[in-house]
Structure 1
Amino acid sequence: MKAPVEGFSRLAKNEKIEWIANNCTKDPEQTKQLLKRYWNQDAKVQKLHDEFIENTLSNYYLPFAIAPNFLINGEFFAIPMAIEESSVVAAASKAAKFWLSRGGFKTQVLGTEKVGQVHFIFRGDSEKLERFFEEIKEDLIKSTADITESMERRGGGITAIELRNKTENISGYHQLHCTFETLDAMGANFINSCLEQFAKTLREKAKAYPHFSDEEKDLEIVMSILSNYVPNCIVKGEVSCPVEELNEDDLSPELFAKKMVQAVQIAKADPFRAVTHNKGIMNGVDAVILATGNDFRAIEAGIHAYAAKDGSYSSLTHASIEDGVFTFWIEIPLALGTVGGLTSLHPLVKLALEILRNPTAKELMQIVAVAGLAQNFAALRSLTTTGIQKGHMKMHLMNLLNQMGATEDEKTTLVNYFKDRTVTNASVKEALENHRS
C-alpha cells in the first residue's frame, strides 16, 4: 500500500477493487479480473455475500465435500465438510467405514450451559457488595424481561447469576458470572444483550443503594461480554469393540489396540505432542463447523482452553482396553447454533444442514464431536501402523501436480505411477520431468 486511504468503506465495490488493484498489486488488470472471476454469477447471491462483512471485494472459496457412511446412534449420516487440507475428508471417511461394521459411533450431550460475564471494579466492602447483590438479583433478571421473553417461550433463558470476587487477581475486580440456555441458537447476541442490561441495572442500583458510601456507589463497569469457554456445554462421542475385531494388515489386533492407547497416553503426557494430536481433531471439527456456518474461532478457543483445564495442555481424546474391549472417546465443549447467523442466509450452509437432516443444536454437537473423533482415530491409526506420510502424501499428490503445471493426461499417468511408490516433492518433480522427456 502506497499511502493511507480515507473513507474506503464508503467507496462502491468497483471503486474499492480499483483502489486495491492500483495501490497494492503489481498487475492491476490481472487483480481486477481475478477478484471478479470469483464473484457469484447470481447477483442476488453475490449481494448476500457482500453484506456478510465489510469492504467485500470477492469470495474466497474452500472445497465443500462430504464424508459418507457415518453411523451415529444407529442412524446414517453423510457429513458435510469445508476445508482446504488434503486427506482430511478421506481420513474421516475411512474411519467412518472402519467403525460401520463395529457398532458405529455413540454420542450424548452432557450439558448445554453457555456463559457470559459482567466485569466491574468495586472499591469497597466486599461483604456489603454481596448483601447488595442478593437484594438486587431478582431485579437484574426482571430488567431483561423484554430481551428474554421470546427465548423463555421456547424453553431457554437465564439459568443463573452469581457474584464472583476476583480481588486476589486484580484490585477491586468483581464479576457477575451468568449462565444461559439458548437452545438451537449459538446465542451470542442474546447473551450480550442480557449482560449489557445487567450492567446498566447494576450501576443504577448501586448509585441508589443507601448502604454504599459515595465511592462504593461509583461502581465502574469495565465490560460485558459472553465467554467462549463453555466447560459445561459438553458432548461425548465414543467407539468401542472387542480387541479381536481391530484387524489390521500390519499388526495383530492386540498390538494395534495397545499402540493406540499408548499414542493417547503420550498426547496426555507431552504438550508438544498434544497440540498436534488435538490439531488433527480440529481438522474434523472445524471442517463441519465451517460447513454449517458456525464460528470456528470461538470453538477453537474454547476447546483448547478445555484441553488445558487441569493445569497443562493435554489430549482431548481418551483410550482404554478393559475386559478385552477397546474404547476410544472424546469429550469437548461445543457451543453451536442451527438457527440465526449464517445458518438461514448462506445457501451452502442451508444445504449442509439439510444434508444433516436439519439437526437441533444438540444433534449438531454430536455430529461435530464424531467428526473430530473419527479424524483423530484415522490419524493415530496411520501413525501407529504405516506412518502418516504414506496416506497424506498420496492425497497431496494432486496438489503437487497442479503446482507443477501438469496436464490432465500427465496427472492420470502420474497418479497411476505413484500408486505403489513414495510421494515426495522431489520424486513427483523427477517423475514429471522424466515423463515429459
Structure 2
Amino acid sequence: MNTPVEGFSRLSKAEKIDWIATNFTKNPEESRQLLQQYWNTDGKVQKLHDEFIENTVSNYYLPFAVAPNFLINDRFYAIPMTIEESSVVAAASKAAKFWLNRGGFKTTVLGTEKIGQVHFIFNGDFNKLQDFFSKIKPDFFSDASSITKSMEKRGGGIKDIELRDLSDKVKGYHQLHCTFETLDAMGANFINSCLEQFAQTLKEKANSYPDFTQKEREIEVVMSILSNYVPKCLVRAEVSCPIGALNEDDISPTEFAQKIVRAVEIAKAEPHRAVTHNKGIMNGIDAVILATGNDFRAIEAGVHAYAAKDGSYSSLTHASIEDDIFKFWIEVPLALGTVGGLTSLHPLVKLALEILQNPKAEELMQIVAVAGLAQNFAALRSLVTTGIQKGHMKMHLLNMLNQMGASESEKLQLVQYFKTHTVTNASVKEALEKIQSE
C-alpha cells in the first residue's frame, strides 16, 4: 500500500530507489535494475549529476547529435543538438547542406537587453511617488554596487530603472522596470540579486520619506524577479539567393519560392498553423539550447510571447521575393549564456561549446537562431513539395521496428525495403510479419 514517506531527501540513493520501486512499480527488481543501469560508471560524474537537482535516483539520457556543414557568416560550424524526435537533426543537416553553396546563413545581433521587475503596491498620490523615485534612483545603483562591481568591470551591469504605474490593471500596482546587460552570462542570479536589493532600498527609503503619509510609506513589495520575455535581446538570421538557384526536383524554382512565401503567409495569418510552424522552429532551437546547457523552458516562454507581440499569435519566420531574390529570415529573442550554470559543470555541455568553438553569448544567439531557421526551412521545403510524412516516417522507421521487436537482420531488410515504399505503422507491421512468417 502506498503511504507518504518522511525525510525522503535524507535517504540514500539506494534507499530512494528501493522505496520508489517497492511502492510504485509492478516489478520492483526490474525497476531497481533499470534505474541503476543508467547511473554513470564514473563516480565523479555521477556525483555531479546527483547534485544538479534534488532526490535524483538515476539519469535520463537523450541523444547527443551533431548537424554538420553550417556556414554562418562565412564560418563553418557543426552544431550539437540534444533531442529525441526523429528527423530533426537530419532536417537541420539537409537545410545546412542546401544553403552551403548558396551563400550560407547571415546573422546579426539586434540587442542584448535583459529585464527584471520589482512588483509593488502603493496606495497614494502617484505624483508624490514619481518625485520620490526621482530622488532615490541613484540609491538603487549605489546600494547594489557590491553586486554589480564584478559585472561592471567586464562591461555589463544595470542599464536603467524605470517607475511604471499599472494601477489601472491591478489596484495600487506599480513596478520598477529594470534593464540589464549580463554579457556572456544568462544572468538570472545576477538580475534577481539586484532586484531584491532594489526592493529593500525602495522600502527603506519610503519608510523615512517625509513627503509620504504613513499609509504611503507602507509600500508592499509583492515580488522581485527577472522576466523571461526579452524582446530587446534579439537576433536575426537569414538566407537569400536568386530564385533560379532554388532548383528542386519536379518543381520550378519560381513555384518553389512562391510556395514557401505562401506557406509563411498562412502561418502569419492563422494561429492554428502558426503554433505548429513555430513548434518546428523550436525543434531546432531547443535542441541546441539543451546541448549547450541553457534553459529551454525560459526560451520557449519568451519566444512564444514574442510571436504574439502584435496581438495575435503568428509566424516567427518571414519570406519574400523581391527583384528575383528569395529571402527567408527569422527574428527571435534569445537570452543565453556561455558561462555559469551547467556550462562549466556538465561535461557534455562543455564539449558542445568546444565543438561550437567556445562562442560568446552573442555568437551562441546567432548559432541558435540559425538552427531554428534551418529547421523551419527544411519543414516548409518538405511540406510544399513531397509532404512532411515521407521523410519523417523514414527517419522514424527504426523506432517503429524497435517497438515491434524486430531483430537486427529484420531491420536491415526493412530499411532497404522502405527506401522505395511508403512508411506507415500498418505497412511496417505487415512487412515485418511477412518476413517473420517466411
**With structure 2 as the length reference, what TM-score do the two structures score?**
0.99
> Aligned ranges for residues 87-126 of structure 1 at < 5 Å?
87-126=87-126
Alignment correspondent of 1:233: 233
Q: What is the total number of aligned residue pairs between the two structures?
A: 437
* Distance in structure 1 (CA, Å) of the matches to 2:250 and 2:346: 45
* Distance in structure 1 (CA, Å) of the matches to 2:3 and 2:266: 51
* Distance in structure 2 (CA, Å) of the matches to 1:177 and 1:120: 11
User: How far off its partner does 1:321 sit?
Assistant: 0.1
* Distance in structure 2 (CA, Å) of the matches to 1:396 and 1:250: 25
> Aligned ranges for residues 65-76 of structure 1 at < 5 Å?
65-76=65-76
* Distance in structure 1 (CA, Å) of the matches to 2:91 and 2:184: 29
User: How far off its partner does 1:343 sit?
Assistant: 0.1
User: How far off its partner does 1:4 sit?
Assistant: 1.5
> Aligned ranges for residues 214-363 of structure 1 at < 5 Å?
214-363=214-363
Deviation readout 1:254-312 (Å, 9 max, x if unpaired): 00000000000000000000000000000000000000000000000000000000000
> Aligned ranges for residues 4-83 of structure 1 at < 5 Å?
4-83=4-83
* Distance in structure 2 (CA, Å) of the matches to 1:329 and 1:305: 19
Alignment correspondent of 1:417: 417
Unaligned runs of 5+ in 1: none
Query: 1:352 corresponds to which letter in structure 2?
Result: A
Alignment correspondent of 1:183: 183
Tell me if 1:137 matches 2:145.
Answer: no
* Distance in structure 2 (CA, Å) of the matches to 1:142 and 1:5: 48
Alignment correspondent of 2:85: 85
* Distance in structure 2 (CA, Å) of the matches to 1:228 and 1:50: 27
* Distance in structure 1 (CA, Å) of the matches to 2:40 and 2:354: 22
User: How far off its partner does 1:145 sit?
Assistant: 0.5
* Distance in structure 2 (CA, Å) of the matches to 1:12 and 1:197: 38
**Matched-pair identity in %:** 77
Query: 2:182 corresponds to which letter in structure 1?
Result: T
Query: 1:5 corresponds to which letter in structure 2?
Result: V
Query: 1:413 corresponds to which letter in structure 2?
Result: Q
Query: 2:9 corresponds to which letter in structure 1?
Result: S
SS class of match (1:138): helix
Superposition misfits of 4+ residues, deviation over 4 angstroms:
none
* Distance in structure 2 (CA, Å) of the matches to 1:261 and 1:416: 35
User: How far off its partner does 1:243 sit?
Assistant: 0.3
SS class of match (1:112): coil
> Aligned ranges for residues 183-202 of structure 1 at < 5 Å?
183-202=183-202
User: How far off its partner does 1:6 sit?
Assistant: 1.4
* Distance in structure 1 (CA, Å) of the matches to 2:152 and 2:387: 52
Query: 1:391 corresponds to which letter in structure 2?
Result: G
SS class of match (1:199): helix
Deviation readout 1:388-420 (Å, 9 max, x if unpaired): 000000000000000001111110000000001
SS class of match (2:418): helix
User: How far off its partner does 1:5 sit?
Assistant: 1.4
Unaligned runs of 5+ in 2: none
Alignment correspondent of 2:398: 398
* Distance in structure 2 (CA, Å) of the matches to 1:104 and 1:78: 13
SS class of match (1:186): coil
* Distance in structure 2 (CA, Å) of the matches to 1:191 and 1:20: 38
* Distance in structure 1 (CA, Å) of the matches to 2:214 and 2:7: 45
User: How far off its partner does 1:250 sit?
Assistant: 1.8
User: How far off its partner does 1:193 sit?
Assistant: 0.1
* Distance in structure 2 (CA, Å) of the matches to 1:14 and 1:203: 48
Alignment correspondent of 2:147: 147
Q: CA RMSD of the aligned region, Å?
A: 0.5
Deviation readout 1:206-264 (Å, 9 max, x if unpaired): 00000000000000000000000000000000000000100010210000000000000
* Distance in structure 1 (CA, Å) of the matches to 2:20 and 2:50: 16
Query: 1:175 corresponds to which letter in structure 2?
Result: Q
SS class of match (1:420): coil
User: How far off its partner does 1:7 sit?
Assistant: 1.1
* Distance in structure 2 (CA, Å) of the matches to 1:347 and 1:405: 33
Query: 1:396 corresponds to which letter in structure 2?
Result: H
* Distance in structure 1 (CA, Å) of the matches to 2:250 and 2:56: 51
